[in-house]
Amino acid sequence: MIEEDLLLSTIDTREPSLCPLGIKRLDDLLGGGVPCGSTILVEGPPGSGKTSFAAKFIYEGARRGEKGVYVSFVEGKYSFYSFMKSLGMDFYDLERKGLVTFIEAIPLHNEEAARLIIERVLMMALEEGVKRVVIDSVTVLIQTFGLEKARELLTTTLLRELKRAGVTTLLISEKPRSYTESEVSVEEYIADTVIELNYRLEYGKIVRYMRILKVRGVSIPLSEITFTLRKDVVIDLAVPIVPHEIPAIDTSTIYKTDIGEIDKLLTGIPRGSQTLIITEPGINSLDLLLVPLIPLVARYGGPAIIRSYVRAPEEIKRVITQTARRLGLNIEQILDEIVISAINPVSQSLHEIAAENARIDSTVKPRFVAIHSLNTLLELYPNINVYLGSHLNNVLLRRKHGITGFYTFSANPKIKDIPGIDIYDIVALVRTTKNEEEYEIEVLRHPLYAFPKRTIVKRGLFKPKGV
Ligand SMILES: Nc1ncnc2c1ncn2[C@@H]1O[C@H](COP(=O)(O)OP(=O)(O)O)[C@@H](O)[C@H]1O
Ligand SMILES: [Mg+2]
């Protein structure tokens, strides 16, 4: 009885406090982070982002004033520090402030060396208040000492003591790029949270993804989340936006272009609405995109983003200048309000393009966004699921932030099954008429009226004089 009472009295019934990993959206999915004092395993093949992930974990701790130790058996301090600097994390500075200690042991000679390191880490946890520890990697321990010994070093000494001291520990484990699900490693048993980082190739482009394989007490609805490695954010997860975050169309703010024909046809463009302009091949879709955009920027101000997947920035600038001049608007003032962003879709995967779009939107915080030639993305990477998955999230985020979007998609207008047509609020179809001097514009969808509207406009409206 007495023994049982003693036992009960030592059980801590308080909810453990949470320790954010510093990886945006992953912490949200985990309900705020991992329990402080728990063990996280990050596994994956070389180049999958494990070191970057672990470094962000230490960096986040330091940002919160928690001391961290990074133990590396694979990489020297200076190569690590300079790699992290390229990701926007200044470890030199953290080391100077006494917040980070980097311990390197390459190669790890013998068990004695390993024990000394473990002792040093434990001392730092007990005496210097270290709160976060990374071991990069347990694979090296296993390769050097064999499974049994490595396990003993890790579980019976290091992890047990660190847990007792309330230190959150992140273990890194190397895994082949593909392995069978049935092979559960020892490391996976000893960890409270298991995260796999990996990548695959899609149309020759690298697509990184994360899988949350094990987590205690939280149900994770997403099994696989794509991410990109980028400066400052480090691990940039593409977690889909949840529907309840998206507000209804704001019909209290209606933008007008001040161009009679367009305003008559469209009635107005609600703030935060997304407009798809489908153009017949051969039509200059950049002109068609700029004609509503430039007068809107002149009237309501920016900032605005213009992105083309096919035209160079200089050319876009030239067309902006021509359009503004023709409409009698102040060119300098308009150029000041517009960010021209060019992404060469040949050099990146659809996931990276979507992440880049989201990043530019969140830094520029534009009032208007105009995207030229969506069809190019699909022509390059003809996977409708991936195209829609990445593009839809960009579109929904814009609606959420009240950013009014315009997109062109060049297609044969007889084919009305443009991928993802349902995600837009306004859909307009532009054809040339038999009369070469005119465009026929048909609005197929609009939140402010029910029926398709059609109009014929002089092509000259969209064409710079003398061209
Ligand atoms: N500045 C950078 N920005 C984005 N990615 C980078 C940068 N520097 C290197 N990388 C990429 O990061 C990956 C290496 O990540 P790392 O965290 O070392 O992976 P692991 O530890 O799993 O081997 C490489 O694939 C490399 O292409
Ligand atoms: Mg590494």
Identify which ligand lies nearest to the alpha carbon of 74: 2
Phi then psi for residue 121, to 5 deg, are -65, -40
Looking at the fold, whether 205 and 302 belong to one and the same domain comes out as no
pLDDT reported for residue 459: 74
Q: For the segment 137-175, what is each residue's pLDDT rounded down to a tens digit?
A: 999 988 888 888 888 888 878 888 899 899 999 999 998
Identify which ligand lies nearest to the alpha carbon of 53: 1
Q: Please check the confidence at residue 4 and state whether its pLDDT lies above 50.
A: no
pLDDT reported for residue 436: 75
Looking at the fold, whether 252 and 232 belong to one and the same domain comes out as no
Query: Is 1 within a domain?
Result: no
| Residue bearing the CA closest to ligand 1, atom 10 | 229
179 band by pLDDT with thresholds 50, 70 and 90: low
Q: Tell which atom from ligand 1 comes closest to the C-alpha of 206.
A: 25
Q: Which positions ≥6 away from 119 have C-beta within 8 Å?
A: none
Identify which ligand lies nearest to the alpha carbon of 46: 1
Q: Tell which atom from ligand 1 comes closest to the C-alpha of 83.
A: 8
- What distance in angstroms lies between residue 298's CA and the mean position of ligand 2's atoms? 50
Looking at the fold, whether 27 and 144 belong to one and the same domain comes out as yes
CA pair distance 407, 70, nearest whole angstrom: 46
Ligand 1 pocket check for 72: Cβ under 6 Å: no
Phi then psi for residue 319, to 5 deg, are -70, -35
Looking at the fold, whether 202 and 333 belong to one and the same domain comes out as no
Q: Please check the confidence at residue 12 and state whether its pLDDT lies above 60.
A: no
Identify which ligand lies nearest to the alpha carbon of 230: 1
DSSP class per residue in 244-310: GGSPPPEEEEEE--S-HHHHHHHS-EEET-EEEEEE-TTS-HHHHHHHHHHHHHHHH---EEEEESS
Looking at the fold, whether 150 and 298 belong to one and the same domain comes out as no
Ligand 1 pocket check for 266: Cβ under 6 Å: no
Q: Tell which atom from ligand 1 comes closest to the C-alpha of 199.
A: 25
Ligand 1 pocket check for 50: Cβ under 6 Å: yes
Q: For the segment 353-409, what is each residue's pLDDT rounded down to a tens digit?
A: 999 999 999 999 999 999 999 999 999 998 888 899 889 999 999 999 999 999 999
Query: Is 136 within a domain?
Result: yes
Query: Is 8 within a domain?
Result: no
- DSSP state for residue 155 in the 8-state scheme: I
pLDDT reported for residue 1: 42
Query: Is 37 within a domain?
Result: yes
Ion ligand 2 nearby residues (CB, 5 A): 51
Ligand 1 pocket check for 46: Cβ under 6 Å: yes
Looking at the fold, whether 219 and 268 belong to one and the same domain comes out as no
CA pair distance 73, 136, nearest whole angstrom: 6
Return the top range by mean pLDDT from 37-51, 108-122, 219-233, 415-429.
37-51
Looking at the fold, whether 274 and 229 belong to one and the same domain comes out as no
CA pair distance 279, 295, nearest whole angstrom: 20
For residues 220-227, average pLDDT: 82
Token pair belonging to 208: 């990184």
Query: Which residue's entry shows tokens 């207008």?
Result: 413
| Residue bearing the CA closest to ligand 1, atom 15 | 49
Looking at the fold, whether 369 and 450 belong to one and the same domain comes out as yes
Query: Is 54 within a domain?
Result: yes
Ligand 1 pocket check for 48: Cβ under 6 Å: yes
Query: Is 3 within a domain?
Result: no
- What distance in angstroms lies between residue 174's CA and the mean position of ligand 2's atoms? 8
Looking at the fold, whether 306 and 347 belong to one and the same domain comes out as yes
Say if residues 173 and 42 touch (Cβ distance below 8 Å).
yes
3 band by pLDDT with thresholds 50, 70 and 90: very low
CA nearest 369: which of 427, 302, 435, 425?
302
CA pair distance 59, 42, nearest whole angstrom: 16
- DSSP state for residue 175 in the 8-state scheme: -
Question: What's the total number of domains in the chain?
Answer: 2
- What distance in angstroms lies between residue 169's CA and the mean position of ligand 2's atoms? 16
Q: Last residue of some domain: 237, 257, 285?
A: 237
Looking at the fold, whether 252 and 220 belong to one and the same domain comes out as no
What residues make up the domain containing 130? 15-237
Return the top range by mean pLDDT from 21-35, 81-95, 170-184.
81-95
Looking at the fold, whether 338 and 289 belong to one and the same domain comes out as yes
Q: Ligand 1 pocket check: which of 205, 229, 231 to mutate, most ligand atoms within 8 Å of Cβ? A: 229
Token pair belonging to 106: 């390459």
Q: Tell which atom from ligand 1 comes closest to the C-alpha of 87.
A: 1
Looking at the fold, whether 223 and 278 belong to one and the same domain comes out as no
Q: Last residue of some domain: 237, 267, 286?
A: 237
CATH number at residue 352: 3.40.50.300
Q: Please check the confidence at residue 304 and state whether its pLDDT lies above 90.
A: yes
Q: Last residue of some domain: 185, 215, 237?
A: 237
Q: Which positions ≥6 away from 243 have C-beta within 8 Å?
A: none
